[in-house]
Structure 1
């Protein structure tokens, strides 16, 4: 539902697609660590963890917000109306839910209220698309029900975007990808929740994994087990798996502290998803692909604070003043089936990664943007990468990691490398239209990269770079040292050197770490600070800065920076 606030404030309600003139209030850009987040969220989150639906309707899955606009934000929660109304069960009565938005966490300055209904048909999840808020402002929100001991949900904190035409001094995003429940704890989420200076968190895909228990991490050991234990195929299955992820304390904290801007990759449905199927889908035993993908997408939109866009997918565009346009891609719903490595089909103009409509939409948006930076959220890497020069002992784990044949690989055909015609068209468009300051933000590959995106990789650096790319590593999903069962940054260093030697546009590569990124954007530069966690299997894992790279305005190249943005 969409709800407007009438609070007689200068921020009158209006169409979110139209720019609005408003002064942007400067705010501190210094890092505010865990104390602020803990003070706001610890008590309500603890209350949620101890609430029981037996006492009446309860909020057992926290709160979340997403897709911030200058005048609004999407709010989310899930109500458990009765003890048996667990996610995916289809049980429990419909429940009326109230929501409030306030300027303070004590709710003494409430600026808007509304009601909606948590229905069994939507797994008792609810969304309120609240409008009429002030631009670039922090708000607090909560939900309520009657008849339970936990009448109010945890308090959430969110933030609106700058006005479309505002000269925003800066914007800062947390960036994450690939969160395998069984492989470790989501400490990266906890550390991002502690950074209350963030404007939002970008989740670039693989928010969850579809496999049965042990199906993806069986050789490395399980930290905790999936629910349901079997591979998820039905709507009830996907709902239950999403519900489990919304009980993780670190996920609860991140969602309650920041608006999350999410896209999906393949594992939200099944491994190596394409428009007509997936590597991990067997129609003869798991039913029609169309039924499975419909179930997965329905559960995703029920459980994630995301606005569905064109054709019910996740490609959409958000704006952060005149500083940045954020173009978010869906690289699974429209793609052709992955080609076999070495088949030559990767160059076929008949094959597509984006689909014609989405590629035209992206090209038009990039060419017409008047923002200083054009950020593109892409679930798979666009930079070309050849792996053929790797030593034999690294080929097998990389092939398993990338889902490719074990006998050796030259390229990862699940990435843009498998759809070179789409990439050539897009990169040519950037060059021909003179589009500057395009930065691709990427997940999927369980490694951290900082790359130039060359017009012609074979002749780089003699030929120019058309854009840059920052790839974040996984939150928990296995990477090279996990497969090899060796200490980080030992055997993999040979592979790093080989990849960089064969791909001169790759400026940095970390094959082993788990963690997250923090992207800080100003008019002068876009900088990615890479952070790593001490141990994905430790629920109290610490975080430390690893590296930083930036793109200076107008250069289309990445360069190393010796310290993170403070």
Structure 2
């Protein structure tokens, strides 16, 4: 069933039947909230390695020790990990001292675990016990792995809807991890960016985030969401940031949504955002360190998670700006680029997956679109215009020296089985990454594939146009594909999530769409599936996945 013909009633019926057939796993939203107020923000795990995983929670040791309050005593939190949900056997345990200086967050690394194994974990403080979380270690280095399955999400704006996509991922019960590709939260104040100009759930605090207290409070609000808590408690996350974790269209020295002076010094704002991120996210990152990192899953796949905000040069003014292809400008920074190139050609796992916050596929918007369509595409892509045609200079297209270096490296080294996994653009895409867009597909090769997930809630093209889903955007999508023959699939409308299936034979992504993002109980249905067969570096339509 295609997204064009998928009705909201069909989505609801399909999702309801699947949930009834499979049953909910033990870690549902109710379980995530079944603790005392001491652990009101739930539990989480992340960055799984073969013998260790990071564990996270937030403690409220006294009633006044609320997020960003600066109040409350230092406290020792104990944690334990078990292969049993009832904790009869303890595989690892320890303690962590937290306090107001880190907003009473807890991050502990459980070590000495068995590779490729499911574990349960929990925290205790006095007589208070957290809800139990479930996590999984990565397979042993070089181990044969038949299949990996990841949830893939990005762009979850609290003000624009409910996180039903997370609930549907929990209900599956078949994921090894969740990849969050950025915009885990948004910086805007109520009324600045929401669902078709309707604030579904107002942000806290009721101002744009600029200070450490603001960022802490916003993280705390998101972590109180029942569906997000349940997903964190059910499976480890592997995350990176994009721009909205700090401010829109951020770069190393500023951001589009930052006014120096009126909103303080950018370096201080960015430091505050990074500190809150380090405190509140289940990630092996501390301020001053590097967020980009690599994970290996046996012999099957490596996953390189990129940071494309900390080191990038300021965005060019347009694609005819001489700076757009200047080798002096970068989106990755020198050290990260060298690390990524090395990961792409290193021996080891078969599939080279790249967690990529913004699109690397070159895109040219056709000039044949109407004025309204061009305006909507420009708003969605957040770029600039040339002769009235929008371009997104915030993507790799705006950093063509780095973009071409990656493409040449893949082509010249004959690298196979590379797939970029991308968020950011509030739409679904399946693309070949051409060695040369001008000669593709006649003589030009595809050096990799790119699969882009939709937004969880953030506005997309039909929202901007103010039209029903799968109506006004259809002609825009057709024109975009005609102007970019390497783009095989494009959905400018849907909200939801993706599921990535990795086997030695191929990588497949399934796109699932929500019936209504503003409905907390929204159903979800399978929209489409695309795959990359081993050795091809090309996308092709695939049989559908399962709910």
Query: TM-score, normalized by length of structure 1?
Result: 0.90
Match of 1:455 in 2: 435
Alpha-carbon RMSD: 1.7
Match of 2:97 in 1: 117
CA–CA separation in structure 2 for the residues paired with 1:523 and 1:190: 29
Alignment of 1:433 onto 2:413: yes
Structure 1 window deviating more from structure 2 (99-108 vs 544-553): it is: 99-108
CA–CA separation in structure 1 for the residues paired with 2:388 and 2:357: 24
CA–CA separation in structure 2 for the residues paired with 1:202 and 1:408: 36
Quote the offset at 1:35 in angstroms.
5.9
CA–CA separation in structure 1 for the residues paired with 2:274 and 2:145: 34
Match of 1:140 in 2: 120
User: Residues 214-241 of structure 1: CA distance to partner in whole angstroms, max 9, x if unpaired?
Assistant: 1112752011100001000011110000
Q: How does 1:353-432 map onto structure 2 within 5 Å?
A: 353-389=331-367, 390-405=369-384, 408-432=388-412
Quote the offset at 1:408 in angstroms.
3.1
Q: Measured at CA, do residues 153 and 547 of structure 1 come closer, stay the same or move farther in structure 2, by a change above 3 Å?
A: same
Match of 2:239 in 1: 262
Q: Is the 8 A contact 2:441 2:485 kept in 1?
A: yes
Match of 1:498 in 2: 479
Match of 1:279 in 2: 256
User: Residues 306-337 of structure 1: CA distance to partner in whole angstroms, max 9, x if unpaired?
Assistant: 11279523100001001000001000000010
Alignment of 1:530 onto 2:516: no
CA–CA separation in structure 2 for the residues paired with 1:36 and 1:427: 45
Report the secondary structure of 2:251's partner residue: coil
Quote the offset at 1:405 in angstroms.
4.2
Q: Measured at CA, do residues 483 and 43 of structure 1 come closer, stay the same or move farther in structure 2, by a change above 3 Å?
A: closer
Q: Is the 8 A contact 1:325 1:369 kept in 2?
A: no
Match of 1:559 in 2: 540
CA–CA separation in structure 2 for the residues paired with 1:327 and 1:310: 20
Match of 1:20 in 2: none
- Unpaired segments ≥5 residues, structure 2: 1-17
Alignment of 1:348 onto 2:326: yes
CA–CA separation in structure 1 for the residues paired with 2:191 and 2:24: 34
Quote the offset at 1:562 in angstroms.
2.9
Match of 2:212 in 1: 235
CA–CA separation in structure 2 for the residues paired with 1:246 and 1:179: 12
- Unpaired segments ≥5 residues, structure 1: 1-30, 53-57
CA–CA separation in structure 2 for the residues paired with 1:167 and 1:563: 25
Q: 1:308 aligns with which of 257, 265, 285?
A: 285
Report the secondary structure of 1:143's partner residue: strand
Q: Is the 8 A contact 1:184 1:537 kept in 2?
A: yes
Q: Is the 8 A contact 1:227 1:241 kept in 2?
A: yes
Alignment of 1:175 onto 2:156: no
Structure 1 window deviating more from structure 2 (257-266 vs 343-352): it is: 343-352
Quote the offset at 1:374 in angstroms.
0.1
CA–CA separation in structure 2 for the residues paired with 1:418 and 1:131: 42
Report the secondary structure of 1:312's partner residue: coil
Match of 2:54 in 1: 74
Q: 2:82 aligns with which of 88, 102, 106?
A: 102
Q: Measured at CA, do residues 76 and 33 of structure 1 come closer, stay the same or move farther in structure 2, by a change above 3 Å?
A: farther
